[in-house]
Amino acid sequence: MVEARAERGAGTRLLTVAAVGKLDAAAIAGGVPSIALMEAAGAAVAERAVALLPPGGRALVLCGPGNNGGDGFVTARRLVEAGFPVDLVSLGEISALKGDAALAAGLWTGPVQGKLPEDLSPYALVIDALFGAGLSRDLDGVARALVETVAATRLPVLAVDMPSGVDGDSGAVRGAALAATDTVTFVAMKAGHLLEPGRSLCGRVHVAQIGTGEAALAAGLAASEPPLHRNGPDLWGASFPRLTGASHKYTRGHALVLSGPATKTGAARLAARGALRVGAGLVTVASPVAALAENAAHLTAIMLRRCEDPDDLDDTLADERLNAILLGPGLGTGEGTRERVGVAAGAGRNLVLDADALTSFADDAATLADLIADGGGQAVITPHAGEFARLFDGTTVPRAADKVARTRAAAALIGAVVIFKGADTVIAHPDGRAAINAHASPYLGTAGSGDVLAGFVTGLLAQGMAPFEAACAAVWLHGDAALRHGPGLIAEDLPELMPAVLAGL
């Protein structure tokens, strides 16, 4: 949960750990004393700690051997000044601290303990200032034992920058990690705050400003290229379709959704309903003959037409008003689906591929990439983890990389926008732009949810949104609907929640 916005000018951008170093260096070069940045960071953490502590509650501050530990010393001093009892544990000798961390430690007048107290029950809050986002190796030895001991107590933890043990760029756990109830980070969020498991371990994330200034921020953003964003309306709202007095159904696009065979038609109808509810002016389901009656029994505002084979699809696409095509939900796997994808891609329309359309190209991403490139259209693919692995394992997409890196590599390889679905959905464009979605609910883990998402993307493409923006918007709207509904959500609910979601924009 994000409770504060990034520095003015950062907008939705996320910073890499390396870029934070560039930002700090630029701020210092611009005349901001480095100790002033540390004092501001510690003050921000102390302010949040005061909000979390009960009156007179005792805090335990854990300080590491670097600048994160220096922030902890400032936090401890500020809490004492505010009237709270504080105990401080330093991981390593104070005499070994350098630079600003040494200065901050020198201003702490209380005792410094070299190990955890045996009894941690008196503490109302633990402040984790051990390692922060820049941890570069797995925790081991004394540090890991300390983290595991505190984690076992389940005491409330306020993390400074990042819970210790969480990688700031990938969100991965480096050996062991603390689970924070709240995290205070500085200037802008990092990917590790939004990628799992880091996101779950960070708790509520608060972004504090520490006076780095706009020029330093610009240096940090320049070092974080290609851009990585936190997904939300600030990213894509300017291009979101809006009706005017001249709008009518033909100006809002016509989406085509291919249906599977009889008894396997529900997924296509869910997607078609999603496309219609998100604003497409017209939606048609293209159905095999044997499934026409089944589809007709369930469709009203959505049109229906016969489409038995790839040749029929080619004939259907002679109507150039059909400007966005979705293939995959319930379509079936195999050569017939591959041929349909080839026909749709060759038509040069906006194309969304999900589910069976992706599985049909398992271990053959190169062929799919060629079809997308030859068609000249704009494509979005929407794999979950299993589909992603089937399509991209064995290619140049690295298995061991973090989710953002893998999604970027997949988008570059396939030549399409990739929505890598999951609890921490990542959207990436072939040019490297990417976004992480944190606006969602675990209740989306239900049958048919992904089909509706594919329909949302298709409906937005039909209305003229560019693929990356349409993908980001669809993911956010999908998540917002689930957050509004809560427990008991089923896929059929998602399109019906769109009026309230869209009104909320």
pLDDT in tens, the chain (505 residues): 544 444 445 679 999 999 999 999 999 999 999 999 999 999 999 999 999 999 999 999 999 999 999 999 999 999 999 999 999 999 989 999 999 999 999 999 999 999 999 999 999 999 999 999 988 899 999 999 999 999 999 999 999 999 999 999 999 999 999 999 999 999 999 999 999 999 999 999 999 999 999 999 999 999 999 999 999 999 999 999 998 999 999 999 999 999 999 999 999 999 999 999 999 999 999 999 999 999 999 999 999 999 999 999 999 999 999 999 999 999 999 999 999 999 999 999 999 999 999 999 999 999 999 999 998 879 999 999 999 999 999 999 999 889 999 999 999 999 999 999 999 999 999 999 999 999 999 999 999 999 999 999 999 999 999 999 999 999 999 999 999 999 999 999 999 999 999 999 8
CB 277 within 8 A of CB 496: yes
Q: Is 41 exposed, middle or buried (0-12, 13-18, 19+ CB in 10 A)?
A: buried
> Contacts for 114-120 with beta carbons within 8 Å, 24 or more apart?
114/89, 114/90, 115/89, 115/146, 116/89, 116/146, 116/149, 116/150, 117/60, 117/87, 117/89, 120/60, 120/150, 120/153, 120/155
CB 113 within 8 A of CB 89: yes
In the chain, the amino acid numbered 474 is: A
Residue 90 backbone phi and psi in degrees, to 5: -110, 130
How far apart CA 67 and CA 70 sit, in angstroms, is 5
Closest CA to 191 of 431, 404, 397: 404
In the chain, the amino acid numbered 281 is: G
List of residues 6+ apart from 53 with CB closer than 8 A: 59, 84, 124, 125
In the chain, the amino acid numbered 238 is: A
CATH superfamily of 233-240+247-504: Ribokinase (3.40.1190.20)
Q: What is the pLDDT at residue 376?
A: 84
Hey, what are 147's tokens?
Answer: 């983290």
Torsion angle of C-alpha atoms 77, 78, 84, 90, degrees rounded to 10? -40
Fold of 17-225: Rossmann fold (3.40.50)
Closest CA to 469 of 432, 434, 431, 504: 434
Closest CA to 104 of 131, 77, 134, 140: 77
- How many of the other CB atoms lie within 10 Å of CB of 155? 16
- How many of the other CB atoms lie within 10 Å of CB of 445? 12
How far apart CA 346 and CA 271 sit, in angstroms, is 22
List of residues 6+ apart from 182 with CB closer than 8 A: 48, 52, 157, 158, 159, 203, 204, 205, 206
Closest CA to 24 of 40, 11, 12, 8: 40
CB 470 within 8 A of CB 460: yes
DSSP per-residue letters across 368-432: HHHHHHHH---EEE---HHHHHHHHTTSSS-SSS-HHHHHHHHHHHHTSEEEE-STT-EEE-TTS
How far apart CA 363 and CA 344 sit, in angstroms, is 21
How far apart CA 327 and CA 391 sit, in angstroms, is 16
How far apart CA 365 and CA 360 sit, in angstroms, is 10
Beta partners for 212? Answer: none
How far apart CA 104 and CA 75 sit, in angstroms, is 10
Q: What is the pLDDT at residue 57?
A: 97
Signed CA dihedral, 347, 348, 349, 352: sign only: positive
CB 182 within 8 A of CB 203: yes
Hey, what are 186's tokens?
Answer: 């500085």
Q: What is the pLDDT at residue 11?
A: 76
> CA angle at residue 200 from 197 to 201, to 5 degrees?
85
- How many of the other CB atoms lie within 10 Å of CB of 8? 9
In the chain, where the domains are located: 17-225, 233-240+247-504
Q: Give the distance, in angstroms, between the CA of residue 278 and the centroid of all CA atoms in the same chain.
A: 21
How far apart CA 341 and CA 391 sit, in angstroms, is 15
Helix (H, G, I), strand (E, B) or coil at 256: strand
